[in-house]
Amino acid sequence: MDVALRFLTTFPFPWRGQVTGQGIGGALPYFPLVGGVIGITLVGVGRVAALFWSPLVQAALIVVAWGIVTGGLHLDGLSDTFDAVMSWRPRERKLEIMKDSRIGVMGALALSSILLLKLSLLADAGPSWWRATLVAPILGRWAMIYAITRFPAARTEGLGSSVQGRLRLAHLAGISAVVALPVIGIAGVSGMCGFLLAGTGAHILGRWWTHELGGLTGDTYGAICEIIEVIALAAVTAMIRISV
């Protein structure tokens, strides 16, 4: 658990240190639990913000806190992935683009789109904002486990390749069941819809990027997390609003 916390968050724990690929591989089952910790933190930020400001400001502060708590780790992966995949270059060149620290037009567009969608969905969520805020980080990190388990690595080196093969389909099934129960408990039918859409979205993105890149990388796992978080926010808030 501590490795997952150190890798996925910026919480200033006294035992923070270097995280290795082998350590991350062993920490994969704890990713959704860390998502829950992130969600609880964001709900706390939202509760305090609601005492002083409008829903729009509250949503903006949650999104800012989201980026700070995660260190922008997955946002960086999102921009790198879209710069590469949307370049329409040969596969080898796409993988080189993903290593480039500079951000291009498509990466900037993907980044701004994700942040705007999170902001808009939370601002429009009404009383259900806390359910969506709590569920989205859990499903985003579960989607990473799904992608790691179901799709091959694009490279033989790097952080992404180091986690390949650490989990089997049986592990994925067990983790999925453990994740589904609290998600449905928190958000009911909307949580179940969010879970199903998260799995569908992760599978579609995994197939798409495996076709483009020959497999997945650490950047694509981060991109999947960010996109699934938005899908989860949309599903939970939409279903709750429909049922009201």
pTM equals: 0.94
- Please, are residues 50 and 58 in contact by the beta-carbon 8 Å criterion? yes
Tell me whether residue 178 is in a domain: yes
State residue 234's pLDDT score: 95
Number of domains in the chain: 1
Tell me whether residue 113 is in a domain: yes
Tell me whether residue 192 is in a domain: yes
- Please, are residues 233 and 136 in contact by the beta-carbon 8 Å criterion? yes
**Containing domain of residue 136, as a range?**
2-10+21-153+161-243
H-only helix segments in the chain: 2-8, 21-27, 31-50, 55-70, 73-85, 91-99, 105-123, 129-150, 159-162, 169-213, 218-243
Tell me whether residue 204 is in a domain: yes
State residue 12's pLDDT score: 80
State residue 14's pLDDT score: 64
DSSP-derived secondary structure letter, 37: H
Tokens representing 150? Answer: 């179901």
Tell me whether residue 15 is in a domain: no
State residue 59's pLDDT score: 98
Q: Using DSSP, state whether 153 is helix, strand or coil.
A: strand
Tell me whether residue 16 is in a domain: no
State residue 88's pLDDT score: 85
Tell me whether residue 134 is in a domain: yes
Q: Using DSSP, state whether 52 is helix, strand or coil.
A: coil
Tell me whether residue 115 is in a domain: yes
Tell me the pLDDT tens digit for each residue of 101-147.
Answer: 889 999 999 999 999 999 999 999 998 899 999 999 999 999 999 99
Q: How confident is the model at residue 165 (pLDDT cuts 50, 70, 90)?
A: confident
